[in-house]
Structure 1
């Protein structure tokens, strides 16, 4: 037996961000698959709350271990290899459940599936029909919380990761949304403006904004850890804008 359809559903940062389209997609699923990173996984608990609200069964699948040592051997190559191996292991874990249960399976994606998430890449490897329902992304929430537009008039915004921040600045980027990184190198950027957000939409939400030299890297670290202490997890991002 195999699953007839897979639905990749963006759900923003929690039940409060589930759109009517995503809610309908959830109700159409026989069950939802979710990676479980241990017995006390707070992110799994949020997915479970979403499923309960819309009457979907959640099936937790133990998440394969990722080789984080290999990911640090080189800046890019080791990281890419480790992530590919991790994705392959995830594919096989999900495939086993899909072949056993059949039906229509959903995957709940934090934020939006199109942005710094690999669920679509994993699902493509399953070789099953699937569709994608968009969700509210973290950069959207960051802009809303700070009541701003992510780009200046007629200018671009560059989405990147903390791992690539220095490389992108050296290439001339001056307006960057930075994701996926807890300890970026911000030395020498004291005159840049920062708009920061951690755990947006969660009880532990933290915000900070201003000239980076005035806000201070230490304050951003404190905000990050405060969010973690409240919610049991942390996801943060920020907009950096260089001086004209």
Structure 2
């Protein structure tokens, strides 16, 4: 029986690797690397660095495949994601079927944590549901960009006894959640700019844990334009950006 591990590798700093993740690395025969193009080569480089740094007990190999891309534009976002995951499912099935021997262990190294805005778990479940392949899989949690953001800004995510909401930039553009603390991920359109008239603090970070890390914090109305400028320049310089932010209502005291 083949075995697949989905290993959360943290939000960019190799030292975010947990002891459980390091132990898991040392059981793997083949690592599947999804190539997202030259501009995102650092994402593969980090995965290779992690393996070279932490694997001490066995030989292993890498197998690379081109990662399918989501169709962008004004179409149906949910349908585009469904199509993307179907394309990834076909790629994963081919990798597991053709590039692993029976009894071997393969792994996908997931940025951050596999349970938070990542589809690897559901894609492997879909592969199994098709019934053409049989394998078992386990999930190893990792330090997410949300946790790393709070740590780097030295703030808790929630006020005492109060909830937080984790959402996307697309949803934030539609409305500001009622909760007084909201974490926003996958914001390609600077959606915080829709709420500069609100009395909010923002804690923003990009490339968290990497040498390219950027951090900005302050009253949203005071720093929103700065974040937009820095974000635009960073995307131009690197060819991609991965950022997260926490917004919090300023009125009231912790309870």
Q: TM-score, normalised by structure 2?
A: 0.85
Separation of aligned partners in 2, 1:229 and 1:66 = 20
1:230–1:19 distance in 2 versus 1, CA, 3 Å: farther
- The alignment status of 1:7 with 2:5, answered yes or no, reads yes
Q: Offset of 1:229 from its aligned partner? A: 5.9
- For the residue of structure 1 that corresponds to 2:166, the secondary structure is strand
Q: CA deviation at 1:42?
A: 2.3
Distance 1:66 1:229 in 2: 20
Once residues 49 and 240 of structure 2 are traced to their aligned partners in structure 1, the CA distance between those partners, rounded to angstroms, is 16
In 2: Cα distance, 1:229 partner to 1:188 partner: 25
Alpha-carbon distance between aligned partners in 2 of 1:188 and 1:224, rounded to the nearest angstrom: 18
Structure 1 equivalent of residue 93 of structure 2: 95
Asked if residue 178 in structure 1 is aligned to residue 177 in structure 2, the reply is: no
1:223 positional shift: 2.6
Root-mean-square deviation (CA), in Å?
1.9
Say if 2:138 is the partner of 1:131.
Answer: yes
Q: Deviations over 1:75-103 (max 9, x none)?
A: xxx11111111111111112112112222
Moved more, 97-106 or 197-206: 97-106
Q: Is the 8 A contact 1:65 1:86 kept in 2?
A: yes
Provide closer, same or farther for how the CA distance between residues 162 and 46 of structure 1 changes in structure 2, counting only shifts above 3 A: same
Which residue of the partner structure matches residue 209 of structure 1?
217
SS at structure 2 position matched to 1:60: strand
For residues 91 and 226 of structure 1, the distance between their equivalents in structure 2, rounded to whole angstroms, comes to 34
Q: Which residue of 1 aligns with 2:70?
A: 66
Per-residue CA deviation, residues 98-142 of structure 1 (Å, 9 max, x unaligned), is: 112222110100001111111111111221311000101111111
| Distance of 1:242 and 1:138 partners within structure 2 | 21
- Residue 230 (structure 1) shift: 6.2
Q: Which shows bigger deviation, 173-182 or 187-196? A: 187-196
- 8 Å contact kept, 1:91–1:123: yes
> Counterparts of 1:168 and 1:225 in 2: how far apart (Å)?
23
Distance 1:113 1:145 in 2: 21
Kindly provide the CA deviation profile for residues 206-230 of structure 1, in whole angstroms up to 9, marking residues without a partner as x: 1111111111x22102332454466
Is the partner of 1:129 in helix, strand or coil? strand
**1:35-54, aligned counterparts within 5 Å?**
35-39=34-38, 41-54=41-54
Mapped partners of 1:38, 1:201: distance in 2: 22
Aligned with 1:28: secondary structure? coil
Q: Return the alpha-carbon distance in structure 2 between the equivalents of residues 81 and 35 of structure 1.
A: 22
Question: 1:166/1:243 Cα in 2 relative to 1: closer, same or farther (>3 Å)?
Answer: farther
What is the number of equivalent residue pairs in this alignment?
234
- TM-score, normalised relative to structure 1: 0.88
Q: 2 CA distance for matches of 1:110 and 1:166?
A: 25
CA contact (8 A) 1:176 1:240 kept: yes
